[in-house]
Amino acid sequence: MTFFALVPAAGGGTRMGSPMPKQYLPLAGRPLIRHALATLCSVPAIARVFLVLAPDDAEWDRHDWSDLPKLAALRCGGATRADSVANGLRATSDEVGADDWVLVHDAARACLTVAQVETLIREAGDDPVGGILAVPVADTLKRAAAAIVPRIGATVPREGLWQAQTPQMFRHGVLLEALEFAPSVTDEASAIEALGLSPKLVAADAANLKITWPADLALAEAIFRQRKASA
């Protein structure tokens, strides 16, 4: 079997409040997106890393990516994450077989490690469905009541709940079928579930955070500093 990675990066990350697309904001001296791409390119089992960009992305060519020889940029991003992933799967169908594994990863999860990726491959690579990195929910969860001022409407039991992360790893053919069947999902596992399949949960850790808000950048910087000090 062959493993490939696909990173959708056609969005702008408007919640960061920056005119520059989030994936190019500086993090630890590099564009944010480079960290995840470099990690995926460093995994020996991954043959190729496909990056799905917006067709009009003008920032990509301002940076040097020549040190990531496994990387291939595809300018076929869509209006949503699901559109971008599906477009990327279609664009790679000549190179990637229907039964090959595709690891879809958020560009904004810059703190991903090689060990986390290899754990997912090891634990889900023999699974008939595939799997995702995830973390058991530790906090008490509250559901807001319908009101102008947010108020607690209910406490949601956290037992059995997991917070989905990425990469999410599925067979190329099945994933494309799933996204065409359920195009409005917010992650690949949801599309697979819509086909009646149950992906495997592979335990990760909270350091594989998704950088969404400005404060997340500072936290990611701290994670990188700690890792550098521990190396």
Query: How confident is the chain (231 residues) per 10-residue block, as mean pLDDT?
Result: 95 64 92 97 98 95 96 96 97 97 97 98 97 96 90 95 98 98 97 98 96 94 95 79
With respect to residue 153, please indicate whether it lies within any of the assigned structural domains.
no
Q: What is the dihedral of CA 218, 220, 226, 231, to 10 degrees?
A: -140
Domain that holds residue 133: 3-137+165-230
pTM (two decimals): 0.94
Taking phi over 0 as left and psi of -120 to 50 as alpha, with beta for the rest, 171 belongs to beta
With respect to residue 150, please indicate whether it lies within any of the assigned structural domains.
no
With respect to residue 28, please indicate whether it lies within any of the assigned structural domains.
yes
Residue pLDDT, tens place only, 125-169:
999 999 999 999 999 999 999 888 899 999 999 999 999 999 999
Amino acid letter, 143: R
Q: What is the CATH number of the domain that holds 195?
A: 3.90.550.10
With respect to residue 191, please indicate whether it lies within any of the assigned structural domains.
yes
With respect to residue 58, please indicate whether it lies within any of the assigned structural domains.
yes
**Into how many domains does the chain fold?**
1
Instruction: Using only the alpha carbons of the chain, give its radius of gyration.
Output: 18
With respect to residue 46, please indicate whether it lies within any of the assigned structural domains.
yes
With respect to residue 156, please indicate whether it lies within any of the assigned structural domains.
no
With respect to residue 20, please indicate whether it lies within any of the assigned structural domains.
yes
